[in-house]
Every structure is written in C-alpha cells, then in structure tokens.
Amino acid sequence: MSDMHAIASSRRSLADADVVALLLHGYGADERDLTSFEAYLPAGIPWVSLRAPQRHPAFGYQWYPITSLETQPEAPVSAATDAVWDWVDSALDAGVRLVTIGFSQGGLIASQLVRTRPDRIAATVLLSGFVLDAPQPADESLTRDRPVVFWGRGDADALIPPAAVVAAHAFLAEHSALEEHTYAGLGHAVSERELLDMREFLTRALSNQ
C-alpha cells in the first residue's frame, strides 16, 4: 500500500462512497491546508486530503521541486502524478470516482490526474492552478469527451506568470468543458466567493452524472 500520508473526513466513510473529493494542497503547505473546503462540498461527499510526497527544503511539502515558475519539469511532475495514483489504487475501490480539487501546484497535479486517467475523474477543480506544457496520455481523448473543469483565479495573482495563465486557458478551452472564473482584486489565494462558485459547479456537475 502507498505510504503517502492522508487525512480524511469523518462525516462519511470512504469505504461506501461512490465519489470522493481529493484535496491537493499547494507548494510548501500540507494535508491540513484545504480541509476547510469541506463546508463548500456538495452534501454527502466525503473528502481525503493528501500530503505531497516531498518535504519542502524550508517549510511544508511539495509535489515536485520548483526551479522556475515559467516552466514545469515533466519527469518530477509525472512522478508525483504516479504517486497520487498509487495511493488512489491502494486506498480506494476501483469504482470510486474522484472530484479533484487542487490549489496552485496542487492544481497542476489535479490537471495531471484527468490528463492521465480521466475515467476515474468525476470533476476537476483548479484554484490558482496551471497545466504542464507537455503531451499527456489522455489528452487526445479529452478533446473528444470534454470532462468538466472549474478554473478559478484572481486577476491580481502576481505569482503565476502570465504565460502560464495563457497556456492553461488555451489547453483547458480545447480539452475540457471549461467553466472559468476570474475574481477582481484576488491575489494568489482562494476567496469565499470562489468556493461558493466551486460548490455550485460541483453540484451541477455531479447531478448530471
């Protein structure tokens, strides 16, 4: 079984769930960072929050080392993606579908999950997230099947380079049924308005499946 550390909601067991929300924290944070999102999930959906597999050299954890915000390293990103799938395969039944919710670097990992095994994904949420600029195994099928994706970001986010935002928009518009939200004055963070929009999106997305 994967040794990736995780914490889970107590309101409903993962064992009897058909859909589970998978929370993926950002760079330098840990598995506790996004647990407050529970209040913004559709009723009855349990969650599990993973800790990224690598310790950050200064604080928290990272999905992969960052050397530049302009480009992302394909091999470490793929290794992190594989580590998440190893955990999912060892901890959850094969029939469980995931609502992946990732912030920043965790948003990239959420996008990787739908780009590698879209059959396991019920919906994808990217919060201040971006995408890997390299072909992934399921990209061609995504252009046909158009999985639902929520992408929320602040227009005052000074951390994510504009080129990464442009690239993410181009990819998601071509490969998903994209619902994009931009929030005035919001930096590299998540607002309550964004979380309320996320809950509305997930409620609609899951009711249609």
Question: Pick from 104, 109, 101, 105: which is nearest to 201 by CA?
Answer: 101
Q: What is the mean pLDDT of the chain?
A: 94
Q: In the CATH hierarchy, which fold is given to the domain comprising 6-207?
A: Rossmann fold (3.40.50)
pLDDT, tens digit (0-9, with 9 covering 90-100), for 8-60: 988 777 878 899 999 999 999 999 999 999 999 998 899 999 999 999 888 89
105-116 helix and 74-91 helix, angle to the nearest 10 degrees: 70
Q: Is the distance from CB of 122 to CB of 98 less than 8 angstroms?
A: yes
Burial (Cβ within 10 Å: 0-12, 13-18, ≥19) of residue 70 = exposed
Give the CA distances from residue 154 to residues 32, 110, 181, 182, 207, in Å, rounded to whole numbers and listed in that order: 23, 18, 8, 5, 28
The stretch 188-206 carries a mean pLDDT of: 97
**pLDDT at position 3:** 61
- Tell which residue, 171, 68, 191, has the closest CA to residue 111: 171
Maximum distance among all Cα pairs of the chain, rounded to whole angstroms:
44
**27/52 Cα distance (integer angstroms):** 9
Per-residue pLDDT tens for 121-166? 999 999 999 999 999 999 999 999 999 999 999 999 999 999 999 9
**Threshold 0.85, pTM exceeds:** yes
| pLDDT class of 107 with cuts at 50, 70, 90 | very high
